[in-house]
């Protein structure tokens, strides 16, 4: 039976390249000259720590990070910017979590969306991926097309297509 997987993986090397590009651009920008700026990528925990003099500069850093990541081929949804920036002495800090893998509650939402679509496919949650199987490959392609209109807040990739 044909099948494919929904995954939400972030390539660590691509992420590292994107963050290094952001560091270069921020240090070369005139409006950041002689100001305190820290951009650190924690590859183990998939977190980006940002520090700046003001909240305005911090939001500019986030904008640059999103645009440079998208140019590197990463989706903007991989960054969880929901944590509020906080004041620490004279600097403003923010921790941006990089979403890697599909959480259980997000997987349940995706399964519900697939079931509600009425397509004749079977769906199984396997750790941090979702396997979709069907009798015809056309049914799987319909699921892929339907997934493009979902607004669930995570970046999905279709992998492991087997016919």
Same topology for domains 3-8+102-162 and 12-98, yes or no?
yes
Q: Is the Cβ–Cβ distance between 127 and 5 less than 8 Å?
A: no
Question: What are the pLDDT digits (tens) for 21-58?
Answer: 999 999 898 988 888 899 999 988 899 999 999 899 99
- CB-based contacts of 49: which residues, under 8 Å, 6+ apart? 38, 39, 40, 42, 93, 94, 95, 96
DSSP β-bridge partners for residue 158? 6
Q: What is the pLDDT of the chain when averaged over all its residues? A: 88
Phi-psi region of 143 (alpha: psi -120 to 50; beta: other; left: phi over 0): alpha
Q: What is the pLDDT, as a whole number, of residue 88?
A: 84
pTM: 0.81
Question: What are the pLDDT digits (tens) for 100-133?
Answer: 888 888 889 888 988 888 888 888 898 888 899 9
163: pLDDT strictly greater than 80: no
One of 3.30.70.860, 1.10.1270.20, 3.90.580.10, 3.40.120.10 is the CATH number of 3-8+102-162, namely 3.30.70.860
151: pLDDT strictly greater than 90: no
We find that the CATH architecture of domain 12-98 is 2-Layer Sandwich (3.30)
157: pLDDT strictly greater than 90: no
């Amino acid at each position: 039976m044909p099948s494919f997987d929904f995954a939400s993986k972030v390539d660590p090397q691509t992420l590292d390249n994107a963050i290094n590009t952001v560091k270069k651009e921020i240090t070369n920008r005139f409006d950041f000259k002689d100001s305190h700026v820290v951009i650190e990528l924690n590859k183990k925990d998939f977190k980006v720590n940002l520090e700046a003099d003001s909240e305005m500069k911090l939001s500019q850093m986030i904008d640059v990070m999103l645009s440079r990541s998208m140019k590197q081929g990463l989706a903007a949804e991989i960054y969880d910017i929901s944590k509020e920036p906080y004041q620490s002495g004279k600097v403003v800090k923010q921790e941006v979590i990089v979403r890697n893998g599909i959480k259980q509650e997000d997987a349940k939402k995706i399964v519900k969306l697939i079931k509600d679509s009425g397509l004749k496919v079977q769906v199984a949650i396997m750790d941090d991926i979702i396997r979709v199987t069907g009798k015809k490959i056309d049914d799987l392609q319909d699921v892929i097309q339907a997934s493009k209109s979902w607004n669930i807040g995570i970046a999905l990739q279709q992998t492991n297509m087997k016919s």
